[in-house]
Amino acid sequence: MRIMLLGAPGVGKGTQAKKIQEKFPIPQISTGEILRAAVKNQTELGKQAKVIMEKGELVPDDLIVGLVRERLQEEDCKKGFILDGFPRTIPQAEALDVLLQELNMKLNAVIDIDVDYEKIIARLTNRRLCPSCGADYNLLNNPPNPDNTCKKCGETVIQRDDDKEGTIRNRLEVYEKQTRPLKDFYAEKGMLKVVNGDQGVDDVFGKIVKILGD
């Protein structure tokens, strides 16, 4: 099963990808997570990406496509994968088409999770992340322990640098200009399914599972 999750930052792509990964044994490929790991490990890629990510801009297409090209050829992707946060531009989507053709693979589902921008801003400012195990939290509806530690591993949770309000607005502008056009790109191919993301995590997941079942 090869799945792509589309949608603005903060609609819950990562949360849903992790739930899909628990139900079906396929890896989540989050370009954001790969980049954050590179920044943490201070690799060459991480050094280039850090400044761009802090501003809420997009990392250049060729770097991202190179990352995904390598990742899709790893053994665990033979069973399928969930793309989360990639593609984010039309050139990335076109490069993905070529790459999938080369690898003799086809996408089974492109799912757009849809949430209003005002609600997204509220969600993102309240979002917290465990820097150790990657668990996602939200102070509004899925809080960490009362002492701000991760329920899974006990590490103190943090706010992502790019989840501060100024950066969030820029990320949404970048999404509007560069990423939202992907909805038309996949709708024209007859592949797009839209799920209302303004519901509980389990309700959104139920809709996604139904689409995958169909």
Buried b (16+ CB within 10 A) or exposed e, 59-80: bebebbbebbeebbeeeebeeb
CB-closest chain residue to ligand AMP: 32
Is 127 an active-site residue?
yes
162-181: which residues touch ligand AMP (CB under 6 A)? Answer: 162, 171
Is 128 an active-site residue?
no
CB of 57 or CB of 94, closer to ligand AMP? 57
Residue labelled with tokens 């689409």? 211
Of 13, 36, 128, 207, which one is the catalytic site residue? 13
86 three-class SS: coil
Distance of CA 27 to the CA centre of its chain: 13
Interface with ligand AMP, residue 5, by CB under 6 A: no
Is 171 an active-site residue?
yes
CB of 167 or CB of 210, closer to ligand AMP? 167
Name which position in 56, 113, 195, 197 contacts ligand AMP (CB under 6 A).
Answer: 56
CA distance linking residue 114 with residue 8, whole number of Å: 8
Name which position in 19, 88, 127, 128 contacts ligand AMP (CB under 6 A).
Answer: 88
CA distance linking residue 70 with residue 66, whole number of Å: 6
Is 69 an active-site residue?
no
CA distance linking residue 119 with residue 121, whole number of Å: 5
Interface with ligand AMP, residue 85, by CB under 6 A: yes
Is 88 an active-site residue?
yes
Q: Which residues are catalytic?
A: 13, 88, 127, 160, 171
